[in-house]
Amino acid sequence: MREPVVRLQRGRDRSTRRRHPWVFSGAVASVEGEPAPGATVVVAAHDGTVLGRAAYSPSSQIRLRLWTFDEATPVDDALLHARLDAALALRKRLVLTADTDCARLVFAEADGLPGLVADLYGDTLVVQCHSAGAERIQDVAIAHLRARTGAARVVLRSDAEVRKLEGLEPRSGVVFGPPIEGGLVRAREHGMQFLVDVERGHKTGFYLDQRDSRARVRAVARGRVLNCFSYTGGFAVAALSGGAEHALSVDTSLAALELAEKNVADNGIDPARHDGLRGDCFDVLRGLYDEGERFDLVVLDPPKFAPAARHVAKAARGYKDLALRALKLLHPGGLLFSFSCSGAIDRALFRQIAASAALEAQRPLTVLGELGHPPDHPVPTSFAEGEYLKGYWALAQ
């Protein structure tokens, strides 16, 4: 049976030839055959030259997500197994150790598996399928990952908003293994213990992408720490484990703050050294300043402010406002850890925002280092969109 062929518009094949894995709907000239959502199609240039094979997503603006960039390589179970094995080998080499049993095992396009995410928390595997193509390979991927990791449980978390753009319904729940007693699983990161809500928590339950930054905070934390947008207290636990005297976690979710308290206690830390405060971080920062509170280290890890380019201007104002208020709360010589997970905000702009906030606050700010993805969230040079997380840590004078 002849493979469906998607032919691109004249002159719209440049990014594909440069191995960018996405082809948008406007670049498509014609579709030969009737491929189903997620089906593998041949991608051809206007002149008929075969550029590779891709998963077809008729409902999405990202019409094609490429599996391969040559004519000869078939998209079959052998290819999927090989890519899964390569991804696992990288994590075992660079992340998974005796004191760290949680990692992102598969990072979608970065591992040549567009739309597929798989995270490991101890003996629990959490899988997300963000695209029609990933949905189509879900069963093969889960079976192979189970066999290779020995996971006792697999949880499906295909409930992200992006699935609506692919014409997919949300799907979630335990698909293999026993139910989760108490709703929480345990994970270990650099010797620290964390309880993770893999069924209902943010993303797959924990911010694995902040592993290296938590380690940095743990290494330098002293005195009083303010952890804004704290979620379940990852940065607070790191700071208190490293030598901070006290940490204040701020979040709008009472459930997240309660889990943060459990995580503090689970690491043998005196509960008196940690407090949780429910509230909007913008308002809380202002209130703390008015009350005369000051800190030695502030972490700003807000949710995505700019999901698309049209939101950049508003997002930039939000990031600046946060940085400005945080700088006013820092003692001279205090440290600011500031992050953006908005893909539309690049590093250069984020640095400009920091400079503007420092100028307005009249607090000279010296960047000590850039922060971002750990190695289980790799970023191909051909896929800049994969670098969504960026940050810095800086000295406030």
Q: Which residues are catalytic?
A: 341
User: Which residues, in sequence order, are CB contacts of 193 under 8 Å at separation 6+?
Assistant: 186, 187, 263, 266, 267
182: left (phi over 0), alpha (psi -120 to 50) or beta: left
Element containing residue 104 per DSSP (H, E): strand 102-107
390 beta partners: 340, 372
Q: What are phi and psi of 362, to 5 degrees?
A: 55, 45
Tokens matching residue 144: 């192979």
C-alpha pair distances (Å), 170 with each of 143, 157, 198, 205: 21, 8, 15, 16
CB-count burial class (<10 Å; 0-12, 13-18, 19+) for 133: buried
Q: How far apart are CA 193 and CA 199, in angstroms?
A: 18
- Residue 188 corresponds to which tokens in the numbers above? 């270990």
Residue recorded with tokens 């005196």: 270
Burial class (CB in 10 A: 0-12, 13-18, 19+), 348: exposed
Taking the CA atoms of residue 224, residue 229, residue 231 and residue 233 in that order, the dihedral angle to the nearest 10 degrees is -10
What are the tokens at 48? 């008929």
Residue type, 183: G
